[in-house]
């Protein structure tokens, strides 16, 4: 299939796609190299096809997504990449799409920000499939990332991402709400999450923070814009790439993210779980994206004794431990510790509230609340005797991998 890679209304490149594997076999012409997905190199009139394929594959639902095998079996499709073509690769997180050559499709008529989309794929992903005929694939669910069961829905005219949790506790859903409250108290720009129930199961829900003018560029893509020297830390590399792109100094935004992740003991802030926003037409950088996906925290997959022990907490994206990562923070003066005083009680109250307590046992709620109290105390001590030192690559995270709940 020959198609044009589009960036909103702009024609970026013509390419040839294998419809069965979803692989980009050939890049035919490049019209707007600066609009190629960030990090796809363009040299001497040639775009890096391997890099474009990597970007395109990353756009599909990951094979590790909860429930995806059953969904593919139901649809009679072998891999999630072939789903991309059926929704023109459209997403609700950026403005890229593909237009078959010879078609006169217009952005105005196809984008999901302003046009309704089908719930069929979302139903299949949620195990509610009941449609044998007229199956409509046009949905941003074909291009959503992440391992947790999720779907986009239009609620009261707003595009909302509905996301489940893993295991028996489904703790990620409650964690998103708690992280929202903490970020609100600390004045950290964030995506607010609330809780909804469906069939007796909890789901977190948040609004789309991207709109028809803007798009999310994940940190992973930003890191691809320059070669990283081995002696440069992951943190420094990210900051350098942002500056070289003209996006500005991200130190203060990173301080906020690192402090949040320290408090909540986040274990999955990989390089696709934060990023920058830019204007999709002018490519102007708009700053650090509001913090999203903070659910894999508070010992979400651990037993109560492990939560209390606090010894095997994974840390990403910069350092392997939170105690090393917190050293990257330049400035703690913005933290109003007074506002954090009641956070442990707030957490315990929320996790033991009606309905939530059916998933989270009292001993777990207590362990989470008490460990957060300790983490905040240690954070206060760190902030009080803080002296900033230059970062080295020692203790860096070596690979960018998302948590896989199927393991």
Ligand X SMILES: Nc1ncnc2c1ncn2[C@@H]1O[C@H](COP(=O)(O)OP(=O)(O)O)[C@@H](O)[C@H]1O
Q: How far is the CB of 228 from ligand X (least distance, A)?
A: 22
Q: Which residue is nearest to ligand X (CB)?
A: 146
The distance in angstroms from the start CA to the end CA of the chain is 36
Residue 328 is given by DSSP the state: G
Q: What would the x/- binding string for Mg ion be over residues 276 to 295, using CB under 5 A?
A: -----------------x--
Q: In whole angstroms, how large is the CA radius of gyration of the chain?
A: 22
Nearer to ligand X by Cβ, of 173 and 325: the residue is 173
Asked if 146 is part of the footprint of ligand X (rule: CB under 6 A), the reply reads yes
Nearer to ligand X by Cβ, of 238 and 348: the residue is 238
Asked if 183 is part of the footprint of ligand X (rule: CB under 6 A), the reply reads no
Asked if 161 is part of the footprint of ligand X (rule: CB under 6 A), the reply reads yes
Nearer to ligand X by Cβ, of 12 and 161: the residue is 161
Distance CA 257, CA 259 (A): 5
Q: Applying CB under 6 A, which part among 182-190, 203-211, 230-238, 277-285 lies near ligand X?
A: 203-211
Q: Report the alpha-carbon angle 118-18-1, nearest 5.
A: 75
Site for ligand X in 282-311 (CB under 6 A): 292-293, 295
Q: Could you say which of 30, 110, 147, 277 contacts ligand X (CB under 6 A)?
A: 147
**Partner that binds at residue 254, options ligand X, Mg ion, none, CB closer than 5 to 8 Å by kind:** none
Q: How far is CA 88 from CA 22, 92, 154, 196, 356, in A?
A: 12, 12, 19, 30, 39
Distance CA 191, CA 207 (A): 8
Q: How far is the CB of 242 from ligand X (least distance, A)?
A: 18
Among 240, 292, 253, residue whose Cα is nearest residue 269: 292
Q: Could you say which of 82, 139, 224, 273 contacts ligand X (CB under 6 A)?
A: 273
Distance CA 30, CA 2 (A): 14
Query: What token pair was written down for 76?
Result: 């009679």
Asked if 209 is part of the footprint of ligand X (rule: CB under 6 A), the reply reads yes
Q: Could you say which of 144, 180, 224, 233 contacts ligand X (CB under 6 A)?
A: 144
**Partner that binds at residue 203, options ligand X, Mg ion, none, CB closer than 5 to 8 Å by kind:** none
Distance CA 358, CA 59 (A): 36
Q: Could you say which of 120, 123, 145, 261 contacts ligand X (CB under 6 A)?
A: 145
| CB contact at 8 A, 139 and 119 | yes
CA 363 to chain centre: 30
Q: How far is the CB of 164 from Mg ion (least distance, A)?
A: 13
Nearer to ligand X by Cβ, of 2 and 158: the residue is 158
Nearer to Mg ion by Cβ, of 293 and 391: the residue is 293
Asked if 403 is part of the footprint of Mg ion (rule: CB under 5 A), the reply reads no
* Cα atoms in the Cβ-side hemisphere of radius 13 Å centred on 91: 24
Q: What residues contact 241, with CB distance under 8 A and at least 6 apart?
A: 222, 223, 225, 226
Burial of 33 (0-12, 13-18, 19+ CB in 10 A): middle
Asked if 148 is part of the footprint of ligand X (rule: CB under 6 A), the reply reads yes
**Partner that binds at residue 359, options Mg ion, ligand X, none, CB closer than 5 to 8 Å by kind:** none
Among 184, 141, 125, 139, residue whose Cα is nearest residue 339: 184
**Partner that binds at residue 4, options Mg ion, ligand X, none, CB closer than 5 to 8 Å by kind:** none
Site for Mg ion in 2-21 (CB under 5 A): none
Q: How far is the CB of 218 from ligand X (least distance, A)?
A: 6
| CB contact at 8 A, 208 and 155 | no
Site for Mg ion in 250-279 (CB under 5 A): 273
Q: How far is the CB of 171 from ligand X (least distance, A)?
A: 12
22 backbone φψ class: left, alpha, beta (φ>0; ψ -120 to 50): left
Q: Could you say which of 37, 140, 146, 295 contacts Mg ion (CB under 5 A)?
A: 146
Site for ligand X in 334-393 (CB under 6 A): none
Sign (positive/negative) of CA torsion 114, 119, 124, 128?
A: positive
How many chain residues interact with ligand X (CB under 6 A)? Answer: 21
Nearer to ligand X by Cβ, of 121 and 329: the residue is 121
Q: Applying CB under 6 A, which part among 36-44, 139-147, 243-251, 253-261 lies near ligand X?
A: 139-147
Q: What are phi and psi of 132, to 5 degrees?
A: -90, -35
Task: Give the interface with Mg ion as residue ranges (CB under 5 A).
Answer: 146, 273, 293
Positions that interact with ligand X (CB under 6 A): 92-93, 144-148, 150, 161, 163, 191, 206, 208-210, 216, 272-273, 292-293, 295
């Amino acid at each position: 299939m020959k198609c044009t890679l589009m960036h909103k209304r702009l024609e970026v490149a013509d390419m040839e796609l294998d419809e069965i594997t979803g692989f980009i076999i050939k890049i035919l012409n490049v019209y707007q190299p600066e609009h190629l997905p960030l990090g796809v190199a363009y040299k001497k009139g040639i775009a890096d096809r391997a890099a474009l394929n990597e970007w395109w594959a990353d756009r599909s639902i990951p094979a590790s997504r909860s429930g995806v095998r059953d969904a593919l079996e139901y649809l009679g499709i072998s891999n999630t990449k072939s789903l991309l073509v059926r929704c023109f690769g459209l997403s609700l997180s950026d403005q890229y799409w593909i237009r078959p050559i010879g078609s006169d499709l217009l952005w105005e008529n196809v984008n999901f920000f302003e046009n309704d989309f089908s719930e069929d794929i979302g139903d299949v992903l949620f195990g509610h499939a009941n449609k044998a005929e007229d199956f409509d694939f046009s949905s941003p669910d074909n291009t959503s990332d992440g391992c947790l069961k999720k779907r986009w829905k239009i609620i009261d005219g707003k595009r909302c991402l509905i996301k489940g949790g893993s295991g028996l506790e489904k703790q990620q859903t409650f964690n998103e709400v708690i992280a929202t409250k903490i970020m609100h108290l600390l004045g950290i720009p964030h995506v607010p999450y609330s809780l909804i129930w469906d069939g007796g199961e909890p789901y977190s829900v948040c609004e789309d923070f991207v709109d028809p003018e803007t798009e999310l560029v994940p940190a992973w893509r930003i890191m691809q814009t320059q070669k990283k020297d081995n002696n440069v830390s992951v943190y420094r590399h990210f900051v350098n790439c942002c500056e070289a792109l003209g996006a500005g100094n991200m130190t203060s935004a990173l301080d906020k993210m690192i402090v949040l992740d320290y408090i909540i003991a986040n274990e999955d802030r990989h390089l696709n779980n934060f990023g920058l926003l830019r204007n999709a037409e002018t490519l102007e950088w708009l700053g650090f994206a509001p913090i999203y996906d903070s659910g894999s925290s508070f010992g979400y997959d651990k037993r109560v004794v492990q939560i209390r022990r606090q010894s095997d907490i994974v840390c990403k994206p910069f350092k392997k431990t939170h105690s090393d990562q917190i050293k990257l923070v330049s400035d703690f003066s913005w933290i109003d510790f007074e506002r954090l005083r009641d956070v442990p009680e707030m957490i315990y109250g929320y996790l033991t509230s009606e309905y939530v307590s059916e998933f989270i046992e009292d001993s777990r709620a207590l362990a989470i609340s008490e460990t957060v109290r300790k983490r905040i105390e240690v954070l206060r001590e760190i902030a009080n005797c803080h002296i900033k030192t230059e970062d080295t690559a020692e203790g860096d995270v070596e690979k960018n991998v998302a948590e896989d709940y199927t393991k």
